Structure 1
């Protein structure tokens, strides 16, 4: 089966490369073909080459993002979550000590009956909840650390909100790359169909020969000893490659 518009980008790159390499090799090696046939092979290979280059660039950019800024943004958010949790627990402890002998609202009014309701909140909503808790400090009686606790909590909230925003911006940038990759895959699928139609038209009743120019992406992958999946490397006719 030819690589189609829903084929993932990695196998599409392999499929396109196989067709380009087969066309190029046929132009050089297939001595039974005419000069016109050889030029046909060369022209078809040349028309596919820029598309493969664009696919490989997109694939590389996605991988570089995932291993670089994407993972770095996620790491910063996770560390920021730990920093925010630490500040909440410390603030709760200091508020309890400061309000221990005060009348009126206590630390539980600010941080809840269980501080875990803040520290275990979902990442995206936690900064907002902690900001609300910091603002509730204004309603409790005065104590020595009150202003410092509020300032510290708000600083940690701002830090984490900045990391979350940066991660979201990274997600948006990656989505654009992914969308471009989808567009290129669809274009590549169309080009492969057109190339096969051109080969079928030029070499009628030579289905087996034409099939060799295309990777069969329907074949099951085999799992290598290190656990990675690899393509078995068959042509579109289903014959194993030598």
Structure 2
């Protein structure tokens, strides 16, 4: 086999540069902002088989991502938001393989009763999400959130500060930073007769993460976000 030459070309949307203020206390959303819930934004990934046709590879990856999305979404609310192509040669023949991300925004056609909030890690960046994280390593569950609002619960949102620091907030305005998605609903107080786990927002350097440990695993505690289902 001849030597394999690879090049990766990534098409990405421009990221913002805002920085989340340090020392910010975590507080629940006000009644006014809680009345208007932010949308769910969920990304589905499709990967093509290698093809000699770049167009065919891209179309196959897009079709696969939309197939996954269509299990729970009206695909009219979905669009391609990122496409990565791996181009290489085997025996002098050009090959293409695409990874396409399709993002759906609004309300899913079907919402689970509960959603597992999982913490992931990739290259020093923690991400807690109920929607899965392509390319991240799973660290563990932080408890479950309700898919729809229940008495005594408030929404939790995935937000972004700077170019890639994701953080969890109970505020739909993401505390002045970029909105990502609605993750689900968490208890504001521990309900009687229901097993729960405390959920804290933490900080290590300039990077946020969530934890069930009130001491934030030896790092800085920013505040209590609420109580997840155990």
TM exceeding 0.5: no
| TM-score (norm. length: structure 2) | 0.20
Task: Between the two structures, name the one with larger relative contact order (CA 8 Å, sep ≥ 6).
Answer: 1
Q: Which has the higher strand share?
A: 2
Bigger-Rg structure (1/2): 1
| TM-score (norm. length: structure 1) | 0.20
Q: Which has the higher helix share?
A: 1
